[in-house]
Structure 1
Amino acid sequence: VYAVTHAWSPPAVVPQLRLRSVLQRLAEERGRYWLHEKLALLDKQAAQTIDPRNLRRTIRALEVIFSTGQPFSAQRRQGFSPYRLFTIGLSRPRPQLYARIDARIEAMFASGLLDETRHLLEQGYSPDLPSLSAIGYRQCVAVLQGKISLEEAKAQMRRLTRAFVRRQANWFKPGDATIHWFDLTTTPVEDIEAAIRAFLAEESSPATTVASVKETGVAG
């Protein structure tokens, strides 16, 4: 989303599946932090902008470097954004957010997440696909493979989703002047809608108007 709204052009390098497999295996054998250190040796600027825990982005950066012989950071270009942005941040205390996460996970399984995953595997989709490595699918695959129990899958999903919330809170900071923050425990939805309508009613701009929404948690 950020790349689109801020006109960042990613390197035009098609996926190198064999290379990705090698890098993935190295990460499994030596750790994602080891792989990130190798990225730092090749492209310090890229390493500074990529979280060492984000293995997928680390692998992508190395993939581009090895494929082109050029630093990953030198191949990202920012152009002129055609959008006039109104970014909304929605916050609520962590305990409330965690409770909603737990309820959502239970609802996902009640709605057939495990059966959906089983159907995808039966259709021939590989469990190694990036889409099936997302939180939820990954744990369901492990359940269907007999590696973990259903309760362990739910526990992993709760833990990983909460960690994701904490990363979001670090990325989308309350002090960011480009984000209009609303506390969902004290702000009526009507007030948020009014803010959006006021933005849309402003003098028209030659650029396209986009309202984006980000929700994160705050320490409770």
Structure 2
Amino acid sequence: MSRAVRLGLALALSLAGGAAWAQSKRGEDVAPEQALVLGPDVAQTVGAPLGPPVGPDRLEEETHALASRIRCPVCQGHSIADSPSETARDMKSLVRAMVAAGYVEDQVFVYFEARYGEFIRLLPRAEGFNLLVWVIPLAALLLGIIVVVVFLGRRRPSAVATAVPSEAAAARSRAREAGPAEGSDLDPWLEAVRREVAEEDQRQDG
């Protein structure tokens, strides 16, 4: 084992023990996970903790936040925070011990990815090929909105164009049916309207 690894392991053990010792000195109960001595593979994989030890006031909250994003290798569809399997409980205990010792989020994920692969992330990172997992649903939603807008935009002018000829045809029909009122001053005007309607009909028929 190289000197750097030995130093990192010693520092990790001292921090983990220091957190439990400080908690015990304050008269608080020491959780088994905090008293747990992390195995040498943790320091060999991710080095020394990059953060300070986490006390009991924040330990459970931070542990749950990380555990809810780590996939259970047994249940697969559940996180280790929700899975009832023994493997998930052991993994969550290890997460709690790492958090208590001061290991930060990136280090926790690096450690578990080294053992299980990137599959262990319940939500893939939004980068590289994994970016498609985030982009494709948004692109499909945007495309659907565009299709609906275009479809509705095409239907509206068509409905207006259909209504105008219908109104004109109705007006011509009323003009044909209305005969000239005898002795009315409107006779010349009605005659002119009938001629225009007849000419319009001839042009359309031709």
Q: Give TM class, smaller chain.
A: under 0.3
Q: Where is the strand percentage greater, Structure 1 or Structure 2?
A: 1
Q: Taking CA–CA contacts closer than 8 Å with sequence separation of 6 or more, which of the two structures ends up with the larger relative contact order?
A: 1
Normalised by the length of structure 2, the TM-score is 0.18
Normalised by the length of structure 1, the TM-score is 0.17
Q: Where is the helix percentage greater, Structure 1 or Structure 2?
A: 2
